[in-house]
Structure 1
Amino acid sequence: MKFLEFLNSQNPYDFKIQQPYMIAEAGVNHEGSMELAKRLIEEAQEGGADAIKFQTYKADTIASKNSPSYWDLNQESTTSQHALFQKYDKFWKGEYEQLKKICDQEGIEFLSTPFDVTSATFLNDLMPAFKVSSSDITNKPFIEFMAAFKKPIILSTGASELHEIQEAVSWINPFDIPLVLLHCVLNYPTPDENANLGMIKGLQHHFPDYLIGYSDHTLPKEMDTLIASTLLGARVIEKHFTHDKSLPGNDHYHAMDKEDLKHFYKKLEHQITLLGDFEVKKLASESISAENARRSLIATSDIPKGTVITKDHLTWKRPAYGISPKFIDQLIGKKTLFDIKEDDVLKWNLFEF
């Protein structure tokens, strides 16, 4: 589904569990290769993602040369952010225009997170919405610059205090545009014990007027983290995506691949089937069980015609074909029209009214 269509179909006050809008975060896992980027698009579409998202930056405008790392150095040995970004900042306006065309051809939506004013400006013509990185949640001028394009914003909230999220939301509100908040933990990878998926419910509590989602950095394993986040109400999910999880470095080691995506959808379909809807009701499949397992009022002994019923004449047993025990007070004091035998199921046509 297209993102704008998805937004129009959503109501933040409807808590029915549903399939989320899935963003396969390719980031810079293309490593500067258009062929690899095309493959990532094709495999994300094959896996069932709604969108594939890249990252658009230049090392010189995103980080100073002495910016330290904050990722697992056992998986990505580069100790400087600037040095790492230099490895993957080869794509620019022309390349992203090509990727947008490929996405259109493959039937998957194109997104890319901009990290500077220049990239945000040219990406505006290519995307239905802006993704704001957790790293920019305190970047007031940049958030306002993107909001001024009057497109929906998807804002990750990693490493943020509640007041910082509230502040960022207050900068976006005056532009009167749709906003999606993504719970996110800024650990690469995020250990399961730090995933803190309960924050999805916390965000729903503090920001009831907005859709809440989840940006995941845990290891994919059986995709249980994404399943749990969906069951907690995440409407938009973003997770790093690769064609080969065994590749060293950068974002391959905590990414999902197309088979993980397929596995997620299969498991989610089963979970949604188990949940059903949230209405309190008797299911049609329970009708026979209810008739046989519930009880009726039953005669405790032979009751001659013309007898006035007392409590001593009555007990309750299965099945529920006769008068329900909930009507016992209405039955006491009624006169029998026929002889009734012990253990008969009592019905209303046996009594005088």
Structure 2
Amino acid sequence: MYIKLFDQEVGEGRPTFIIAEVGLNHNGSMEIAKKLIDVAVESGCNAVKFQKRDVKNLAINSFLDSPDLRFPEFGNTYREVREFVEFSNEELLELKEYAGKRKIHFFLTPFDLESAKTVEKLDLAVVKSASHNLTFIPLIRTLVKRKRPLIISTGMSTLEELDHTVSIVREADCPFALLHCVSAYPTPLELVNLKLIDFLKERYQVPVGYSGHEEYTSNSQATLAAVARGACIVERHITLDNNMIGFDHKISLNPESLKSLVNSIRNVDRMMGNGIKKLLPEEKIKRDQQRISIATKVSIRKGTKIEESMLVYKGPGTGFASYDLPKIIGQVAKVDIPEDILILPEMIG
């Protein structure tokens, strides 16, 4: 089960594809946005992701114009707050070009049909569908028409809803991957449910990743456990400072935490191996030193038929192993064999 994301083949046995989700943590500032791209690059992430909304189409006017006092610096209504943190197509193009110069992949999550047009205008090679748009079927149908890789977050959905959306994507013959996601901000560790990674892989037979929303103080334990469980894509929100005003800073990784997580994920990738059990050259010395062999309990004269009572089990492990006992019993000593030495093949016959 593999998918090609940009220039990287992603799936089991491949390096984890790490997405730095800027989301709205740029706070409407191009300067902050570019700094966050720099953070993603310097941390070793594979891609950086932004979000795009056409605010007037997000909700009905009465909802958009309802009071929203979460971030007074951004505005006093839901519309004002959302508009404050939105970038224009021109600004997003500038960010894409900046990411290109920094040698990191750039893509978007569009949240409405109008924003899906931005994906086309920017000619993005990959696109992401957010959890709360999993049942926004017109948007899903628009995105899969492109036949370019689609990453689908699966939070806040029922199994029936997910089955329906996956069937639509499959019918369109669009390559896709799923992200296990819990849409609780922050996500308590007891709700992370990493066993769902196995379930999603088995049920849909596609690459499965993990989009984490745990509080930044959790040391990214869930994300690392997800990678060890088989998640081949990781998405985490990033911020310059967890104390900044704005939407997702408290569930985001600051530069130091992001770099630490990426390094840890790369170490987990190295640890995964190929699943084949074999004796390693690096184990041979210890094996020879510490394994048990068959040794003599008494002196055995040349021509004597060897009996079990003449033998004992001792190290090192460079002689006959204990399971070779039937090969020795009944054999005749070809030489005088002293007490307390290992039996070797040339001594018997």
TM-score, length basis structure 1: 0.87
Shift of 1:270: 4.0
The 8 Å contact of residues 297 and 328 in structure 1, kept in 2 or not, is answered as yes
The reply on whether 1:5 has 2:1 as its aligned counterpart is: no
Residues 139/106 of structure 1: CA separation in 2 closer, same or farther (3 Å cut): same
1:170-201 Cα offsets, whole Å, 9 max, x none, are 00002222211011111122222322233222
SS of residue in 1 equivalent to 2:249? coil
Unpaired segments ≥5 residues, structure 2: none
The reply on whether 1:155 has 2:157 as its aligned counterpart is: no
The amino acid of 2:98's aligned partner reads I
The amino acid of 2:107's aligned partner reads L
Residues 199/76 of structure 1: CA separation in 2 closer, same or farther (3 Å cut): farther
Q: Which residue of 2 aligns with 1:52?
A: 48
1:145 to 142, 150, 175: 142
Q: Which moved more, 1:272-281 or 1:236-245?
A: 272-281
The reply on whether 1:302 has 2:308 as its aligned counterpart is: no
Residues 289/203 of structure 1: CA separation in 2 closer, same or farther (3 Å cut): same
Shift of 1:39: 2.1
- Write the distance in 2 (CA, Å) between the matches of 1:63 and 1:307: 96
The 8 Å contact of residues 66 and 82 in structure 1, kept in 2 or not, is answered as no
- Write the distance in 1 (CA, Å) between the matches of 2:263 and 2:19: 17
- Write the distance in 1 (CA, Å) between the matches of 2:318 and 2:100: 61
- Write the distance in 2 (CA, Å) between the matches of 1:203 and 1:338: 65
TM-score, length basis structure 2: 0.88
1:211-263 Cα offsets, whole Å, 9 max, x none, are 11111111122222221221111111112122221112312221112222111
The amino acid of 2:10's aligned partner reads Q
The total of aligned residue pairs comes to 339
1:292-330 Cα offsets, whole Å, 9 max, x none, are 222222222222221122222222211223222222212
The 8 Å contact of residues 65 and 80 in structure 1, kept in 2 or not, is answered as no
The amino acid of 1:52's aligned partner reads V
Shift of 1:33: 2.3
SS of residue in 2 equivalent to 1:291? helix
SS of residue in 2 equivalent to 1:10? strand
Residues 273/74 of structure 1: CA separation in 2 closer, same or farther (3 Å cut): farther
1:18-51 Cα offsets, whole Å, 9 max, x none, are 6421211111222322222222222222222222
The amino acid of 1:224's aligned partner reads Q
Aligned-CA RMSD value: 2.5
- Write the distance in 2 (CA, Å) between the matches of 1:24 and 1:43: 9
Q: Give runs of aligned pairs for residues 115-134 of structure 1, distance below 5 A.
A: 115-126=111-122, 127-134=124-131
The 8 Å contact of residues 309 and 335 in structure 1, kept in 2 or not, is answered as yes
Residues 189/65 of structure 1: CA separation in 2 closer, same or farther (3 Å cut): farther
Q: Which residue of 2 aligns with 1:192?
A: 189
2:97 to 89, 98, 101: 101
Shift of 1:276: 4.5
The 8 Å contact of residues 10 and 17 in structure 2, kept in 1 or not, is answered as no
Residues 112/155 of structure 1: CA separation in 2 closer, same or farther (3 Å cut): same
Q: Which moved more, 1:175-184 or 1:293-302?
A: 293-302
Residues 319/33 of structure 1: CA separation in 2 closer, same or farther (3 Å cut): closer
Q: Which moved more, 1:319-328 or 1:246-255?
A: 319-328
The reply on whether 1:330 has 2:327 as its aligned counterpart is: yes
Q: Give runs of aligned pairs for residues 13-92 of structure 1, distance below 5 A.
A: 14=12, 16=13, 19-67=15-63, 82=79, 84-89=81-86, 91-92=87-88
Residues 42/324 of structure 1: CA separation in 2 closer, same or farther (3 Å cut): closer
1:252-287 Cα offsets, whole Å, 9 max, x none, are 221112222111123334444555443212222221
- Write the distance in 1 (CA, Å) between the matches of 2:277 and 2:152: 35
The 8 Å contact of residues 63 and 82 in structure 1, kept in 2 or not, is answered as no
- Percent of residue pairs identical: 32
Q: Which residue of 1 aligns with 2:220?
A: 223
- Write the distance in 1 (CA, Å) between the matches of 2:69 and 2:257: 24
- Write the distance in 1 (CA, Å) between the matches of 2:70 and 2:225: 26
Q: Which residue of 1 aligns with 2:257?
A: 260
Residues 299/49 of structure 1: CA separation in 2 closer, same or farther (3 Å cut): closer
The 8 Å contact of residues 48 and 261 in structure 1, kept in 2 or not, is answered as no
